[in-house]
Amino acid sequence: RHVADFQLSIASVTEDSSSDCLAQDLHLQAQKLAERLKCDAVVREISAGPGTVNFTINRELLAKTVLQQVLKDGSQYGVKSELFSTVPRQKAVIEFSSPNIAKKFHVGHLRSTIVGNFIANLKVALGHEVIRINYLGDWGMQFGLLGVGFQHFGNKEKLKSSPLQHLFEVYVQINKAAEDENTKKLAKDFFRKLEEHDEQTLSLWKQFRDFSIEEYSRIYKRLGVHFDEYSGESFYHEKSQEILKTLEDKGLLQKTIKGTGIVDLSEKKDLSSFSTVMRSDGTSLYITRQFLIISFRDLAAAIDRMHKHSCDAMIYVTDKSQSNHFQHLFQILKLMGYDWAERCQHVSFGLVQGMKTRRGEVIFLEDVLNEVRSRMLQNMASAKTTKEVEDPMETAEKVGLAALIIQDFRGLLSSDYQFSWDRALQSRGDTGVFLQYTHARLHSLEQMHGNEQLTDINVACLQEPDAISVLQHLLRYDEVLYRSSQDLQPKHIVSYLLTLSHLAAVAHKTLPVKGSAPELAQARLCLFQAARLVLASGMKLLGITPVTQM
């Protein structure tokens, strides 16, 4: 028995919405309505069900319309939909990743990196202009400590060859002596010199920053991520005084009995909600976003960005423990008279538990990439079906990354989840490995049966239920993109692509190309090509590079 393509529930359109409207009445109304409606070029059958009117669309039209559209639009399929025709093209600044120099690149930074990259990809695909900013933790007292540590334990060669690891090791070593009075004094002196632009001190700091960025860029490239701007807290330390003055001039800065500077955020101005912005010793609080302390630097950075880029949206991608921080930041900006604060948005995500490498906890982003590559290589080597791949290292990395990203994006971003290598790297089930496998399989099907441009194909012969299921699913792609563009959640696209892969896998079994009559073989090939194109487009939006062999 065939299932209808669309259903209209009679209860949703009747005047009498009281629940005592009997089922048989609804059924009767459904039958009456179904009889009055006429079929046309699109709808080929109308029938009544229990309280519903069912519509079936013209199968030939479906096949023709969908396949023509996918092959014509290619990677633009779905994006060119009329759903987006009224959406204004905008300019967005997205701040994401944002690690601290000389400290661990923890899993939260990894999540921020892939989520921010997804949002940027989606916006660019929809025709918006995007500026990707990496806001580094590159200033503050810890650089006093790091500077002293480098003078003791540093090595210029190591700083050049592996800056992230070397600075981290130096920082760990000097931290052991951080409580020592002499070390404290030296660190304070080093940082003071830095703030006073002492040439030698500044030159060393600049090397820490430049070499770190160079290495980060190389690793981000492996992830398929790039930034238009490496900003950082160092850019704004001098603008802090201006912010302080503005807050004072506007009468927004209040002092507590202890001398701490606060900004009242309450509606009744009764201090029921306030934000601390200044220590009692007069120093601008070095930003520790965790403790609801707004640094003048964050305010300065937001104002500077808006001034420089005059964007329609400013998006910050960090974990949800910082939600209050951003709420306060946006409120203070509004109190300072910046109405654009309403266009600022915090996209928050939950915590990942249990991501460890074989060597222990994750310290560097590179550890994760190497781990996922080596585990995937091992799986590929032990799989019976693996053909000889041209570049196994690169394939393993791309497939492994797909596994990481899909595991991360399957649920709501705000939910915490328990990470598992075994679950992420399974080849069956709802995983990134399965998506890559499906893409590679569809690609080799095209290669096997000639890659010629398919023209003048009679797709009307695609009448089998498994072909129709794929076609109907392809038709829905624009709705899924629209949903993700509205709430910036990747899970809609993820579940769409997983379903597409399952449907394509079934169709691949039941609708052979090989051994079918030429016309039918061509039509089926066309169907599989369309499925692969949409699968590849969706994967790229998520930040995954589709592989063609596995």
Q: Is 103 a known active-site residue?
A: yes
Asked if 408 and 351 touch (Cβ cutoff 8 Å), the reply is no
Annotated catalytic residue within 27, 80, 91, 103: 103
At 310, phi and psi to the nearest 5? 30, 70
CA-nearest of 87, 429, 537 to 420 is 429
Asked if 440 and 412 touch (Cβ cutoff 8 Å), the reply is no
Long-range CB contact pairs, 146-150, < 8 A, 24+ = 146/102, 146/170, 146/171, 146/174, 146/208, 147/187, 147/190, 147/191, 147/194, 147/201, 147/204, 147/205, 148/174, 148/183, 148/186, 148/187, 148/190, 149/173, 149/174, 149/175, 150/204, 150/208
E strands in 15-111 = 43-49, 52-57, 91-95
Helices (H), 80-135: 107-125
Helix (H) or strand (E) holding 491: helix 491-510
Q: Is 106 a known active-site residue?
A: yes
Radius of gyration of the chain (CA): 29
Instruction: Give the residue carrying structure tokens 């930003």.
Output: 287
Annotated catalytic residue within 104, 109, 398, 492: 109
CA-nearest of 454, 436, 456 to 528 is 454
CA torsion sign for 165, 171, 172, 174 is positive
Asked if 522 and 457 touch (Cβ cutoff 8 Å), the reply is yes
- Cα dist from 452 to 325, 441, 449, 548, whole Å: 56, 18, 9, 17
Hey, is 259 helix, strand or coil?
coil
Annotated catalytic residue within 104, 106, 123, 439: 106
Q: Is 152 a known active-site residue?
A: no
At 179, phi and psi to the nearest 5? -85, -10
Asked if 521 and 357 touch (Cβ cutoff 8 Å), the reply is no
Catalytic residues, which ones? 103, 106, 109
